[in-house]
Structure 1
Amino acid sequence: MDYKNKVAYITGGTHGIGFGVAQVLLSHGMRVAISGRKLETAQEAAKKLSSDDSKVLGISSDVTNFEDEQKAVEQIIEKFGQLDVVLANAGVGHFAPIYEMEVDKWKQMIETNLTGCFHTLKASFEALKKSEGYYMTLASLAGTNFFANGAGYNASKFGVVGFTQAAMLDLRQHNIKVSTIMPGSVKSEFNNHEPSDKDAWKIQPEDIGKLVWDLLQMHPRTLPSKIEVRPTRPDLKK
């Protein structure tokens, strides 16, 4: 599959996994739009990705707002003329025993992690239908493995996995491929973490980017619909 000059949209692409995926796709000749809640942050990240503004676009969008995602897709089509790949990557995490979980934090996780995936897909469906494109979600191993203090995060990511698998059955009728990627520990700024050399044992953002690229290279007849990926040696963190 030749993806040179194809267009990808990555939500939450200003840092971490989303930024790493954008770097890999750009290195293979794709054009990339990234979004964040603040326009200035998105534009600064786009400049870091490439000095060629014909290849990148920084967009302001809050995925909890459907109208924001509609406008984001409109901007992408206006600039690039098409949309071929969408990665719903934006996410937040708050961790506490369920009896201590604050209501607003619960709602933020569900609205961002789960409803955001729906908003992004709903907004991009017609463009992906036209291009016979690819929709991906960034879920988590927390979408299949529950843990203490993770009820809200587990609920959102279990939901993402279920949503994406059901959407796959709907969208393949329109020649749109759909996959969900479920990473374990990744080196990123997630949950206010400050990445350092101590994170060398973790999956790196560019590893997820390579995985996304590998999915794009699969023959159209074949669909890896759910991919679990883990650090090879998590004991190295000790």
Structure 2
Amino acid sequence: MQSLENKVVYITGGSKGIGFGIAKVLLDNGLKVAISARNYEDLQKARQSLGDENVLIIQSDVSKFEDEVKAVEQIVATFGKLDVVVANAGVGKFSPVDEMSLEDWNAMIGTNLTGVFHTLKATVDQLKQHKGYYISIASLAGTNFFAKGAGYNASKFGVVGFTQAAMLDLRSYDIKCTTIMPGSVTSHFANHVPEADGWKIQPADLGEMVVHLLQMNPNVLPSKIEVRPSKTS
């Protein structure tokens, strides 16, 4: 089992939902965590909720490469290195393709897909140096299309393909790449307010999955993981 001691993790979209849940589990397991989001007030609330001195909050819009470069600089300045990246930031806007606005399309592609590339591009030197781990959070929508999901499907299909190709490009540097593809998750995604969602995947469940990935034998690489609720409701 691989040690988690002294590992430093960067989680995009870490102020709420899946990113926050992953951050909480990793902190509970003794890792140092940096979380980013666009809204600084949300980040401050997240830090207060996490209540841990090993949390660094960073305001960053992943659709802007320069923001991600600055984020990495802050992480290295604070913690001295970066070992693990969880590219989680995402948005969802759903409408029939003939009614979809250019703004909604660009928001999803810019954040969900281009943002994943920006995050890897900005962190790859640190990952090479520390034989790190890059994890993207995609979706079952990355292989299963649905009505009113053209933009979201396009972005998440792209994340799956991007991460799998990156895995082949980077494993010669001893960098691992995995994409996790959750189904229904209890979160605030797409302005949802969680209520009686106990049957769904919980963000902490995905955090535990990340811990398992980091602890696996270095000879083993689950490169793509589909995860669903065990029941439908």
| TM-score bucket of the superposed structures, by smaller chain | over 0.9
CA apart distance, 1:46: 1.9
- Counterparts of 2:20 and 2:5, CA distance in 1: 19
- Counterparts of 1:85 and 1:214, CA distance in 2: 13
- Counterparts of 2:66 and 2:44, CA distance in 1: 20
1:215 aligned counterpart, secondary structure: helix
Contact 1:42 / 1:59 at 8 angstroms: preserved in 2?
yes
1:104 aligned counterpart, secondary structure: helix
Deviations 1:120-161 (A, max 9, x none): 000000011111010000000000000011000000000000
- Counterparts of 1:48 and 1:83, CA distance in 2: 23
Summarize the alignment of residues 193-212 of structure 1 with structure 2, pairs less than 5 Å apart: 193-196=192-195, 198-212=196-210
Percent of aligned pairs sharing the same letter: 64
Contact 1:185 / 1:203 at 8 angstroms: preserved in 2?
yes
- How many residues are treated as equivalent by the alignment? 232
2:178 aligned counterpart, secondary structure: strand
Matched, 1:44 2:42: no
- Counterparts of 1:51 and 1:80, CA distance in 2: 14
In the other structure, the counterpart of 2:60 is: 61
In the other structure, the counterpart of 2:81 is: 82
Structure 2 counterpart of 1:104, which letter?
E
In the other structure, the counterpart of 1:6 is: 7
- Counterparts of 2:190 and 2:41, CA distance in 1: 21
Structure 2 length as normaliser, TM-score?
Answer: 0.98
In the other structure, the counterpart of 2:153 is: 154
Task: Give unmatched runs, 5+ long, in structure 2.
Answer: none
Structure 2 counterpart of 1:135, which letter?
Y
2:94 aligned counterpart, secondary structure: coil
Contact 1:90 / 1:112 at 8 angstroms: preserved in 2?
yes
Task: Give unmatched runs, 5+ long, in structure 1.
Answer: none
Summarize the alignment of residues 34-183 of structure 1 with structure 2, pairs less than 5 Å apart: 34-52=35-53, 55-183=54-182
Structure 1 counterpart of 2:207, which letter?
G
- Counterparts of 1:20 and 1:190, CA distance in 2: 13
RMSD across aligned positions (CA): 0.8
1:199 aligned counterpart, secondary structure: coil
In the other structure, the counterpart of 1:25 is: 26
Deviations 1:150-199 (A, max 9, x none): 00000000000000000000110111000000000000000000011x11
- Counterparts of 2:29 and 2:194, CA distance in 1: 26
- Counterparts of 2:52 and 2:82, CA distance in 1: 21
Is the alpha carbon distance of 1:51 and 1:220 closer, same or farther for their aligned partners in structure 2, counting shifts above 3 Å? closer
- Counterparts of 2:172 and 2:44, CA distance in 1: 36
CA apart distance, 1:4: 1.9
In the other structure, the counterpart of 2:228 is: 230
Deviations 1:82-110 (A, max 9, x none): 10100000000010110010111001000
- Counterparts of 2:44 and 2:84, CA distance in 1: 20
- Counterparts of 1:128 and 1:158, CA distance in 2: 24
- Counterparts of 2:149 and 2:177, CA distance in 1: 26
- Counterparts of 1:51 and 1:163, CA distance in 2: 33
- Counterparts of 1:99 and 1:51, CA distance in 2: 47
Contact 1:43 / 1:57 at 8 angstroms: preserved in 2?
no
- Counterparts of 1:68 and 1:150, CA distance in 2: 28
Contact 1:43 / 1:59 at 8 angstroms: preserved in 2?
no
